[in-house]
Structure 1
Amino acid sequence: MTGTVDARLKELGIEVPQPAKAVANYVGYVTSGNTVFVSGQITAKDGEILYKGKLGDNMSVEEGQEAARLCGINIIAQLYAATDGNLDRVKRIVKLGGFVNSTPDFVDQPKVINGVSDLMVEVFGDKGVHARAAVSAPSLPLGIAVEVDCVAEID
């Protein structure tokens, strides 16, 4: 890894993993023109599913933020693959879609998804400022707490 974004990742102590392989009939990302659509990334690290649970039941907002941040690291891994290993090609994180496994009365989905939003700004600076959605889901695959997808512009 070389470049401005790579230096920032190193400074933050973030190691970009290999991008996760799809587990069903989809791919990790699709590039159309200068737009990269990253499939929903989950709370997996080194092949292990982390952060299982439901916000408002058995998980705190802080744990949810950590889960969202991990989803963001996995998004960066997909972007790394989409840019042939040159994250400086990312011109803008356009939009994040955050899904939070939560109880019907839980209302802090935006606080949870701040975990990934903050990461994108930390890593990409002004290019990481994005539009987003933060919504509740009654359940998510494998019982995970958070899933996040991404739209990014590259050159």
Structure 2
Amino acid sequence: MPHAIDARIEELGHTLPPAPAPAANYVPWVISGNQIFVSGQVSQANGSFITGKLGADLSTEQGADAARSCALSLLAQCKAALGGDWSRLKRVVKLTGFVNCTPDFHDQPKVINGASDFLVAVLGDAGRHARSAVGAPSLPLGVAVEIEAIFELA
């Protein structure tokens, strides 16, 4: 029987992807004390990276969709760290979001809202978190968005 978190993701019209493998010499997550630190997850969907620069190639809405894809990968990594046991998840503590954008693009918070809104939609109050939304001149592989997270264990 699927857990309520998996069911809620499906109700929202999404599928939790497999936890992406690291692309270099790092681990996808680390548990320290009662926290899970998840490495930056890049925007991707259907096996392809979501690339482009906000303010040139992509709209704010497309950026928010890319950020939501990052949130799905963050949840996939969290589930892997928990050994599939969602009951061990207490809350999202913090997101740090990076937006690949032009120097004159100023809607980074609206882009990262794609991830924040999705996490609240899935987890309710446990999805509310502290956050940073930062513009970057480029991101790995030309992706539109990268987000890292800290989760708290129950």
State the TM-score bracket (shorter-chain normalisation). over 0.9
Asked if the contact 1:61/1:111 (under 8 Å) is kept, the reply is yes
Instruction: Give the SS at the match of 1:114.
Output: helix
Q: Deviations over 1:107-139 (max 9, x none)?
A: 100000000000110011000000000000010
Partner of 2:127: 128
The secondary structure found in structure 2 opposite 1:96 is strand
Deviation at 1:46, TM superposition (A): 4.2
Alpha-carbon contact 1:4-1:88 (below 8 Å) kept: no
CA contact (8 A) 2:5 2:86 kept: yes
Residue by residue over 1:67-94, the C-alpha shift from the partner in whole angstroms, topping out at 9 and shown as x without a partner, is 0000000001001101111223210100
Name the SS of the counterpart of 1:25 in structure 2.
coil
Amino-acid identity (%): 54
Contact 1:98-1:146 at 8 Å conserved across structures? yes
- The whole-number CA distance in structure 2 between the counterparts of 1:14 and 1:79 is 16
How many angstroms apart in 2 are the aligned matches of 1:88 and 1:118? 21
SS at match of 1:88: helix
- Counterpart of 1:129 in structure 2: which amino acid? R
Gapped regions of structure 2 (runs ≥ 5): none
Matched with 2:73 is 74
**1:11 match:** 11
**Residue 47 of structure 1 aligns with which residue?**
47
5+ long unaligned stretches in structure 1: none
Normalised to the residue count of structure 1, the TM-score between the two structures is 0.95
**C-alpha contact 2:38 2:77 (8 A) present in aligned 1:** yes
Counterpart for residue 111 of structure 2: 112
Partners of 2:139 and 2:17 in 1: CA distance? 22
**The residue matched to 1:147 in structure 2 has which SS?**
strand
8 A Cα contact 2:42 2:143, kept in partner: yes
Residue 44 of structure 1: how far off its partner (Å): 2.2
